[in-house]
Amino acid sequence: MIRALGMMSGTSLDGVDAAMIETDGRRIAGFGRSAWRAYSGNESGLLHAALGQWRDGPDVAEAAALSVAAHAALAEGFPEAELVGYHGQTLAHDPGGRGTHQAGDGAALARRLGRPVVWDFRAEDVRQGGEGAPLAPFFHWACAEWAMAQGLLPRAPVAFLNLGGVGNLTVVDPAAAAPEAPGACIAFDTGPANAPVNDLMRARLGLARDEGGRLALQGRPDEAVIARFLRHPHFARPAPKSLDRDAFPALAAEVSGLSDADAAATLTHAAAAAVAAGLALLDRAPEQVLVCGGGRHNAAMMAALAARLQARVAPVEAAGLDGDMLEAQAFGWLAVRVLRGLPTSGPGTTGAPGPVCGGRISHPRGR
């Protein structure tokens, strides 16, 4: 077993998550401590300025340096970690075109920490014809197996819904022998999740988010806006499929004439409606959806999901898991898989033609 530290900075641009996990890259032996480092207003602004830019963009070098420095500052508090999984900061994602861009040099992070770092998890999957996202699904399968062994979940198909800047859904079949087995995982990006609401709050009120969904709970969703939103071609495409953070630019314009509360409610319900549209494409929808990521702290979002999904909706803590740190844990687990040459994605999760082991390993001295 290896003690790995997974680190994640998502498209919500609020900070860095770090979490320990002990694993052989197949089974989860145990979870360890975790921590979070918030981005300051200036840091978040710098990252926002770099969104949508590729490696030659004018703001990328500064964003990449910030990513390494912020992750290093947090990782230094975990001396027990034998290996670090570093996702970097996604700035642009266009798997059918220019590829995928996560800013941050894992080799520089390895030198700074004096420990091996696994990074650049998405590029190989895209190179082989996959979407490069989502990447947590194989870990979701391992989490379901762990929770079932603890008696916290029935041995039946279950969905994990991660609500970060973008929403992504994984349906796992625990009867499969491994996450890369045919039918073990079906995964896809559902649509925008927290990002449009966060951007609305930032633009109108100077706030990072709709804390707890309080503003959205005061408003009424505009169902006509949501109906037009659901006409986007993404929602008719079968899985697997992925999205860039800013794939729905018209949505902000659609709510520009609404009050703050109604706009927040509409964007929140649009995210839930996107999840419902995704589940409707499945041959058999799961009976339970476990929600992780920041969106599960939003009471308006959870209420919208409960109203729009034909499934039981619960925070992932109902299965004994940490919904704030699940993605960080995922990249620790994936780092060990890369170290051992095991697949990190496959046809059912990213659309790659076969199992892919995606990720680079950098050692402190470059060996």
Tens digits of per-residue pLDDT, 267-309? 999 999 999 999 999 988 899 999 998 899 999 999 999 999 9
- 52's tokens: 């949508």
Domain ranges for the chain, please list them: 2-133+324-362, 137-319
Q: For the domain 2-133+324-362, what is the CATH superfamily, name and number?
A: ATPase, nucleotide binding domain (3.30.420.40)
pLDDT of residue 239: 87
Triad 319, 293, 28: Cα angle to 5°: 45
What DSSP letter does each residue of 111-160 carry, written as one string? HHHTS-EEE--SHHHHHTTS------HHHHHHHHHHHHHTTSS-SS-EEE
Looking at this protein, which amino acid is placed at residue 8? M
For residue 10, the 8-state DSSP code is -
SS in 3 state form for 333-353?
HHHHHHHCCCCCECCCCCCCC
pLDDT digits (tens, 9 = 90+) for 217-270: 999 999 999 999 999 999 999 988 888 888 899 999 999 999 999 999 999 999
Is-above-0.95 flag for pTM?
no
pLDDT digits (tens, 9 = 90+) for 6-65: 999 988 888 999 999 999 999 999 999 999 999 999 999 999 999 999 999 999 999 999
Asked if pLDDT for residue 366 goes beyond 70, the answer is no
Triad 25, 28, 30: Cα angle to 5°: 130
Task: Tell which CATH architecture fits domain 137-319.
Answer: 2-Layer Sandwich (3.30)
Cα(235)–Cα(52) distance, integer angstroms: 22
Q: Is-contact 160 212, C-beta < 8 A?
A: no
The structure tokens 């001396």 sit at 79
Cα(42)–Cα(159) distance, integer angstroms: 36
pLDDT of residue 325: 95
Which percentage of the chain shows pLDDT scores above 90?
A: 90
Asked if pLDDT for residue 178 goes beyond 60, the answer is yes
Contacts of 58 by beta carbon, 8 Å cutoff, 6+ apart: none
pLDDT of residue 96: 82
pLDDT of residue 285: 83
pLDDT of residue 367: 54
Query: What average pLDDT is seen over the chain?
Result: 95
Fold agreement (2-133+324-362, 137-319)? yes
